[in-house]
Structure 1
Amino acid sequence: MRTPLFRLLLRFTTAFFVLIALSCSSEDTDPTPDPDIGSTPDPNPNPNPNPDPDPVSQNDIALVDDAVAAFMQKYDVPGAAIAVSVNEKMVYTKGYGFSNTTNSTATKTDDVFRLASITKVFTSTAIWKLIDENQLSLDDKVFGPTGILGDDFGTASLTADELNITIDHLLMNEAGGWAASSGGDPIDYQPQLNSDDFIEYVLNNWDLSHAPGESYHYSNTGYWLLARIIEKVSGQSYEDYIANLISSTGITSFKVTTYRQEDREPNEVEYYGTEADSPYIYTIASRRDGDGGGVISAPDLLRFLSAIDGFSNRQDIISPSAINLRKQVSEHQPNFGKGIGIWQSENLLFFTGSFPGTRTWFMIGENGKSAVILLNYRRTDVVDFDFELQDLLLEMIKNNSLPWQTDLDQF
């Protein structure tokens, strides 16, 4: 039976899940939920009422484990991993089900999963770091003689709108097109092209549907272009720049995938799909790095969140100014900021990811709780799959009766 909270989600988030219900393509889609779910968060996370005076190990929490297990059983999810923090202490992390069903290999907390679009938050964080260092500004143009990428790509056919695209437009998905909602996202087309040739292909063959800054269209190509800007400005590969950016956080598992089955990391899960998804799991265009190519473990993703949340117990990797500025939402999409989702009515930062064989979520609550969940499976044929996954994670953030061991820190 659905909880009252879930019924509220069902009532108010229909529009969101129409957006995230995917076709058989490998495109990742807009993570923004409906803003109209209202509740007032407790400003102080509720600690375990009877904490171990000196906990040295994590105790199972049946309410959490049973909820995850029930969701997985209902939707035939092979494997999942979660991690939860309270006041920037990792108080719970666990693997569920199987990372490989053929071998009956149990999912471990250090197994890595594809992030899909959550990678975009790594990309936007890198952009903000370059802004902190005065190597970029939000108003910098992307293309043309004065643009970061110069005039090497498609110069002969650049339109006035293309010349006006800025870093800010790409961060906010306001470049004016190159999105499923504007006639198509070119990211999966012409997979044989290298980066330079692909940029030229996009500029010469994919017209913008709107002027930059006039509308919101969730664009994978836009975030892929931000990765190219990171490379151009830093002189490093995208993967190397991200690795250096997060080196102080203790994260060791982040890598950029090629999406090929044989190239998976040694501790990377196997991915599974419905009949519609299965043909696409290992055929995603290998160019897709900054828009969806990261892999990571659940605890390491939580470490990353603690480095961008603006809380005081762990050091952030971008400035307080950058953390605040990225929360400025678009006038065209009130749940999307400058590189992160803003769920205003729930006082949350969030992002989601979805690929064939992959579904991912994170939430950062203003109440000091953060949570992530990574799956090696998705369902696009059943709307309730995404409703209930969202509800599952939201309960970890909002349910103050859950007995988290707040004296325990597994970071």
Structure 2
Amino acid sequence: MKISYKYLPPVLVITLSIFILSARSGSSENSKKVISSSVKDTEKATSIVIEHYSKNESKYVSLKLDSLLQRVHKRNDFHGSLLVAKNGKILYENQIGYANFNRKEPLNDGFTFQLASVSKQFTAAAIMLLYERNQVQLNDLVNNYFPNFPYENVTIKNLLNHTAGLPKYFWVTDNKWKQQKPPTNSEMMQLLDSVNVQRFFSPGQKFDYSNTGYFVLASIVEKVSGLSFGDFIKQNIFEPLQMKDSFVYSFEMDSVRTNQLDGYKLVKGWKHFRINKSLNDAIVGDKNVYSTCEDLLKWTLGLNNGLILSEESLNLMYSKGETINGRKIPYGFGFRIDERDEKAIYHHGNWNGFSTSLTRYPEEDLVIIILEHTSYKGLTALNNSIKKIVTKNFKA
């Protein structure tokens, strides 16, 4: 599956000097944001300019999307953020609802959302960075890095494709963890070593979506790099792409950041209750990246324009996996792959009240990012409605 580089904005500049320039003109109809940063382990500096369509260009589709967002907010208790980008430029960006219900504090673009399973693409990218540096191979066994890992013959590729057959670590925590504080990745790896929990199937037999596999991948990143998973992602992805509002958060291990949102649930149709953290909230790799819509657009553009990984690595990430019997599965490395009529590379996430979605339609050069924190259930329907509005009402 070939990767199209049509996402490359015409104003992308690659230069040997590092410079920082940022500008947004409130009076200009076509505002721009310039992101400048150095890319690790290369001699080049990169500068991405994220442009916004002018008010005149986006006026009609913005009215339609405003109306949709208002309806979803009122009918389905949507409190979140939405960004739509077309041809590498922001077509629509807005927030609606509350950040904090006790204070009636409205959301704005500065609040960070727990990405839930959308976090998995960062874990996969971290592994591919190590792969490009020849520090790991996709056919390496987990036992190469953790000799006491009790599930033999599991490869890194099995973990990436969800074909490892590992048990659910949520169940292991709830039933085998004896401490009050939540386990970290290293403690969970040790716990798996010490308890006798049966795997679901032998590696490669079939596809079974697994949070366990991605926490194990993050643990491999830590073991190989000598850094915490959060520091590795920060140094190799967030800082190079100037994703200044993004971070990895482990409950009770890291400090809560300013503007870091809590997840909520609606009770009895009118009262919002904050969802408390659980014993599974210190584990990272399968979840626990926090970000904003605009940072996720920086990530999407940077990743697909070759600023983080090579074309070879992207092709691997965006190719369907397969079982040992040759049956294709709808998952690459950290991304779901939909090759039906509306071809899409995407991921959804749901955790502790957060509902998240990042969808890219390569053939239409369209990106839709949805972040919500009150247990919203209609991500797929909302994404489809947004795409329909943009397709029907915007031509560029």
* TM-score (norm: length of structure 1): 0.73
In structure 2, the residue matched to 1:282 is 277
8 Å CA contact 2:121–2:333 kept in 1: the answer is no
In structure 2, the residue matched to 1:102 is 102
Q: Which amino acid is the alignment partner of residue 76 of structure 1?
A: D
In structure 2, the residue matched to 1:362 is 358
- Compare relative contact order (CA 8 Å, sep 6+) and give the higher one, 1 or 2: 1
Residue 350 in 1 paired to residue 336 in 2? no
Q: For residues 115 and 284 of structure 1, do their structure 2 counterparts lie closer, same or farther at Cα, with a shift above 3 Å needed?
A: farther
CA distance in 1, matches of 2:72, 2:251: 26
Aligned length: 330
Residue 249 in 1 paired to residue 241 in 2? yes
SS at match of 1:205: coil
In structure 2, the residue matched to 1:67 is 68
In structure 2, the residue matched to 1:392 is 382
Q: Which amino acid is the alignment partner of residue 292 of structure 1?
A: K
Residue 230 in 1 paired to residue 229 in 2? no
Cα drift, residue 258 of structure 1: 3.2
2:30 to 55, 74, 94: 55
Cα drift, residue 234 of structure 1: 1.0
SS at match of 2:355: strand
In structure 2, the residue matched to 1:174 is 163
Q: Which amino acid is the alignment partner of residue 368 of structure 1?
A: D
CA distance in 1, matches of 2:88, 2:258: 29
SS at match of 1:163: coil
CA distance in 2, matches of 1:76, 1:197: 38
Cα drift, residue 192 of structure 1: 4.2
Q: For residues 402 and 103 of structure 1, do their structure 2 counterparts lie closer, same or farther at Cα, with a shift above 3 Å needed?
A: farther
Residue 305 in 1 paired to residue 280 in 2? no
In structure 2, the residue matched to 1:76 is 77
Residue 111 in 1 paired to residue 111 in 2? yes
8 Å CA contact 2:350–2:356 kept in 1: the answer is yes
CA distance in 1, matches of 2:174, 2:294: 30
In structure 2, the residue matched to 1:36 is none
Gaps (5+ residues) in structure 2? 1-5, 8-26, 32-51
CA distance in 2, matches of 1:285, 1:179: 11
CA distance in 2, matches of 1:114, 1:245: 20
SS at match of 2:202: coil
Q: Which amino acid is the alignment partner of residue 103 of structure 1?
A: R
> Which aligned pairs between 1:261-340 and structure 2 lie closer than 5 A?
263-275=255-267, 280-309=275-304, 314-331=305-322, 334-340=329-335
Deviation digits for residues 314-369 of structure 1 (CA, Å, limit 9, x no counterpart): 44311100111112213356321122110111211000110121100010111111
Cα drift, residue 54 of structure 1: 5.8
CA distance in 2, matches of 1:248, 1:215: 36
CA distance in 2, matches of 1:137, 1:362: 28
More strand by share: 2
SS at match of 1:321: helix
CA distance in 2, matches of 1:290, 1:347: 26
SS at match of 1:123: helix
Question: What's the Cα RMSD here?
Answer: 2.9
